[in-house]
Amino acid sequence: MDVGQYLQRIGYAGPHVPGLDTLRALHRRHIESVPFENLDIHSQRPIVLDEAAFFDKLIRQRRGGFCYELNGLFAALLRKLGFQVTYLSGRVSSDGVQDNGPEFDHLLLEVTWDGSWLVDVGFGDAFADPLPLIPGQWASQGKMFRLEQRGGDWALSQEQPEGTWRLLYVFSRVPRRLEEFSEMCLYHQTSPDSFFRKNRLCTRKTATGRVTLSGQRLIITEAGLRRVRILEMEEDVEQALLEHFGIPRGVLNNSSWPPS
C-alpha cells in the first residue's frame, strides 16, 4: 500500500489524520475518480480477492472495478490512515422491493470513528457521503436514503423521483473476512445469470452529475440534463473510456464486439 500514490490517484490533498471530514472527503474523491466497471469480466480477465492485485489494477493501471475491488482497496487505505474498518456482506435486491439477493452478493464497509458509518464506494450510483449507521432518513448530495433495522439486519433504500422508496440492499453488521466473498466474486464473473455478464458497464460520479458507458451508449448527465450518444465503433468506446474515465487503450482487446 503506497498511500501517497493512492491519494494522488483520487486527487486528494487534504489531511491524513483520521476524522469525519477526512472520511467524507476521501469517500467523495474516490467515487469521482475511480469508476465502477466490469470490463475485465467481458474481457475474460480473472478478478481475484487480493489487496495487492486491487492496488495494481485500480491505482497503478488507473482502472476501476466492482464492489469487491473498490471497497476492498478503500478499506485497506482507511485502515492505513488509522480508521477502524469492518467488511460487511450485502444482499442486493433485484426488484427494489424484496430482500432476495444471496449472501456476499455485495461487499460494503462499516467504519468506526465518532460513531459508526456506512461506507460504500462500490455500488455505482448511490450515496456520495458516508451515512450514519442509525435508523432514519439521510440526505446525500440532493438524494434521500433511508436506513431501517429489520430484526438483525439493516436495509438501505433510496427515494425515487415519484416519492416511492427503492430497496437497494440488505446487510448485517456481522464482521466478515475478504476471502468469504470469493465464491460470489467468481459467480459474478462466470455465471450466465450474473448481472455483470449481461452488459459492459463503466460509470463514475462527476462534480455535476454522472458519466456512464453502458454497452454502446455513452450517457452524460450534467445538472439534471441527460445526453445519450451511440458509439458505433469499438475505437469510439476506447476513446470514451480514455476521455471520461482515464482508462488507457487496450483494455478491451480480448472483449467481443458488439457487447452481448
pLDDT in tens, 59-96: 999 999 999 999 999 999 999 999 999 999 999 998 87
- State yes or no: pLDDT of 219 exceeds 80: yes
Q: Which pLDDT tens digit goes with each residue over 161-193?
A: 888 999 999 999 999 999 999 999 999 999 999
Name the residue with cell 490512515.
Answer: 81
CA proximity to 113, closest of 130, 128, 129: 130
pTM for the full model?
Answer: 0.92
Contact indicator for 74, 23 with CB cutoff of 8 Å: no
Contact indicator for 49, 79 with CB cutoff of 8 Å: no
Alpha-carbon distance 23 to 53, whole Å? 24
Domain boundary assignment for the chain: 3-188, 194-245
| Cell reading at 240 | 470514451
Phi, psi dihedral angles at 62 (to 5 degrees) = 60, 45
CA proximity to 104, closest of 156, 182, 166: 182
Of the options 3.10.20.310, 3.90.1150.10, 3.30.2140.20, 3.30.70.260, the CATH number for the domain spanning 3-188: 3.30.2140.20
| Cell reading at 186 | 467468481
- The whole-chain average pLDDT of the chain stands at 92
pLDDT of residue 110: 98
| Cell reading at 12 | 486528494
Q: Report percent pLDDT > 90 for the chain.
A: 79
pLDDT of residue 244: 95
Q: Which residues are catalytic?
A: 67, 106, 120
> 215, exposed or middle or buried, with CB in 10 Å at 0-12, 13-18, 19+?
middle
Contact indicator for 201, 214 with CB cutoff of 8 Å: yes
Helix (H) or strand (E) holding 169: strand 165-172
SS3 14: coil
Q: Among positive and negative, which fits the CA dihedral 233, 59, 6, 26?
A: positive
Residue type, 150: R
Contact indicator for 34, 9 with CB cutoff of 8 Å: yes
- State yes or no: pLDDT of 30 exceeds 90: yes
Q: Which pLDDT tens digit goes with each residue over 226-253?
A: 999 999 898 999 999 999 999 988 888 6
Mean pLDDT of 193-210: 92
> DSSP assignment, residue 52?
H
Alpha-carbon distance 49 to 129, whole Å? 25
